[in-house]
Amino acid sequence: MVPEMDDQTQSFDAQQMVEEIQEGGQKAPSVDLDADYEAAKSFSVSEIDATEEGAKAAEAATSSQFEVSQPQSAPTEAQATGNPDDYLDMAKEVNPNL
Asked which of 19-23, 55-59, 79-83, 85-89 is least confident by mean pLDDT, the reply is 79-83
Share of the chain above pLDDT 90, in %: 9
Q: What is the pLDDT of residue 41?
A: 85
CB 49 within 8 A of CB 59: no
Residues 6+ apart with CB under 8 A from 46: 54
* Element holding 52 (H helix, E strand): helix 52-62
Q: Does 89 score more than 60 pLDDT? A: yes
CB 26 within 8 A of CB 32: no
Q: What is the pLDDT of residue 20?
A: 92
Dist. CA 22–CA 42, nearest whole Å: 35
